[in-house]
Structure 1
Amino acid sequence: MGSSPVATAAASAAVVALAVANRVLYKLALVPLKAYPFFLAQLTTFGYVAVYFSILYARHRAGVVTRDMLALPKRRFVAIGLLEALGVASGMSAGAMLPGPAIPILSQSFLVWQLIFSALLLGRTYTVRQIIGCLLVISGVILAVASGANEGQFLSGVQLIWPTLMITSSAFQAGASILKEAVFIDGAKRLKGKRPDIFVVNSFGSGFQALFVFLLLPFLSNLRGIKFAELPGYLNGGAECFLNVGESPIDCGGAPFLPLLFIVVNMAFNIALLNLVKLSSALVASLTSTSAVPISIYILSLPLPYIPHGAELSTPFIIGAVVLLMGLILYNLPQLSLKQSKAD
Structure 2
Amino acid sequence: MKTVLIADDSPSNLHLLHDILTKSGYEVLVAENGEEVLDILDEEAPDIFLLDIMMPGMDGLELCRRIKSMSRFTATPIVFITAKNSSEDIVQGFSAGAVDYIPKPFNEAEILARVQTHIRLHDVLMELERLRQLALDANPLTQLPGNNSILKAIAEALNDERPLSVVYADIDNFKAFNDKYGFAAGDQVLRFTANRIVAAVEAACGKGRMVGHVGGDDFVFIAPTECTRIAVDRLIRDFDEGIRSFYSEEDLEKGEIRVKDRNGKLRSFPLMTISLGVVEVDAKSFSHHLEVSAMCAEVKKVAKSISGSSFFINRRGGFGD
Task: Tell me if TM exceeds 0.5.
Answer: no
Question: Relative to total residues, which structure has the larger helix share, 1 or 2?
Answer: 1
Question: Relative to total residues, which structure has the larger strand share, 1 or 2?
Answer: 2
Of structures 1 and 2, the one with the larger relative CO (CA 8 A, separation 6+) is 1
* TM tier relative to shorter chain: under 0.3
